[in-house]
Chains A and B, each alone.
Chain A
Amino acid sequence: MSNQRLLFQQLFDDNSKKVYHLCYGYTGDGDSANDLMQETFIKVWQNLDKFRNQSQLSTWIYRIAVNTCLSYLRTAKRRATDELNDNIIENYSEEPSEKQEQIALLYKSIAQLEENERIIITMVLDEVPYPEIAEVAGISEGNLRVKIHRIKHKLTEIYNRNERV
């Protein structure tokens, strides 16, 4: 197995779960999330030789994932949030346990956030370090902290409101 392939496999193993979460949080749809994740890693593979250590590899991969998600908007934006929410419920509808229902509710709540908030919060939930999130988002760490505080509050509120319904 070539070195590049080994490195790629390592990157895939280390980052695929988080990238998938980011894509899922962004689209609210498992199939789209799978497609976006595939696209992200294809770009990673195709550009691996261009990575110049200007940031961490994981930050670089996140940047590709975010741009891939944003580009996805051009075809998927027309879908209403309600439709996304229905998808989320459907994806979890096979004999949903209480935990699955709660997770579906969480994704439904994330879908109600703004696009940038969805991207940031999925990284926060996955415990990506703040400097890394700031670099991916292209904003200062100070600005990011303010945003995170607000998004956490907003998500908690939406989640609890959805739970009561």
Chain B
Amino acid sequence: MKGFDDIQQLWQRQEPESSVSFETILKRVSGSKTAIAKKLFWQSVAIGVAVVVLLWMCVTVEFSTWTTYLALAIMIGCIGYYFVNQLRDYRKISKSHELLSKPQDYIDYLKTFKQRRNRFNTRNYAIYETCVAAAFAFYAIEMYFVLPFWTFIGFILFIVFWFLICHFIFMKQYINNENTRIQEMIDNLERIKSQFEEH
């Protein structure tokens, strides 16, 4: 039969020590920075390539209607807008100083972040989607004059089908996954907070 003092002595005599050294931490510090930097770098490269290709098309390909140039300009704007927002939110959540806050501050931060992301994924995404759809519609005007009729119909059907898939399946899944992830963090933090607070 042991008392708490015996348990405390036992605790202080324990040997399981961390196998992590100071050097390992320093290595991981630079490693994690590199990983984030790499991810951002490749995202930026992908977007940059897309924008360059669109600009290149603007300059070198001679389109017959001005609507196609407008479509390309809208697409470049949409890609840029989406990328800047994704990048900003990604950097925001990656900054770990929010983790240093007290539980309630951290919970409040996550709730605000969730609301912001919801707004971005619903209202802002709808605007983005409308703009991209408008770009395709403008591009379709040129396609109408260039492509054989049934190929043109096939092109339109494919684009409509792709939009429906993105809107009703991919985007819903994306929003759902993101919400679940953030909500789970909030629930966990709220549960532990209530445990700390209860008398």
Contact = CB atoms under 8 A, between A and B. Distances in A.
A156 B97 contact: no
A67 B189 CA distance: 9
Interface residues of B, number: 45
A116 B25 CA distance: 27
Interface in A1-28: 5, 8-9, 12-13, 16-17, 20-21, 24
A102 B18 contact: no
A19 to B, nearest CB: 8
B29 interface: yes
Contact of A45 (B1, B25, B102): B25
Given A42-B25, A47-B96, A138-B193, A16 B10 contact: no
A38 B16 contact: no
A37 B100 contact: no
A93 interface: no
A160 B2 CA distance: 7
Contact of B19 (A34, A124, A155): A34
A37 to B, nearest CB: 6
Interface string B1-32: 11110011011111111111010111011001
Contacts of B29: 42, 45-46
Interface in B22-48: 22, 24-26, 28-29, 32
Interface string B161-199: 000000000000000000001001100110111011101
Contact of A155 (B4, B188, B197): B4
The 3 closest A-B pairs by CB, nearest first: A116-B195, A20-B18, A125-B11
Given A30-B16, A74-B184, 4 more contacts: A71-B185, A100-B15, A116-B196, A156-B4
Interface of B: 1-4, 7-8, 10-20, 22, 24-26, 28-29, 32, 96-97, 99-104, 106, 181, 184-185, 188-189, 191-193, 195-197, 199
24 contacts: A12-B22, A12-B25, A16-B18, A21-B11, A21-B14, A30-B16, A34-B20, A37-B18, A41-B25, A42-B25, A42-B32, A43-B100, A45-B26, A46-B96, A63-B100, A64-B99, A74-B181, A74-B184, A74-B185, A116-B192, A125-B12, A138-B193, A156-B7, A159-B2
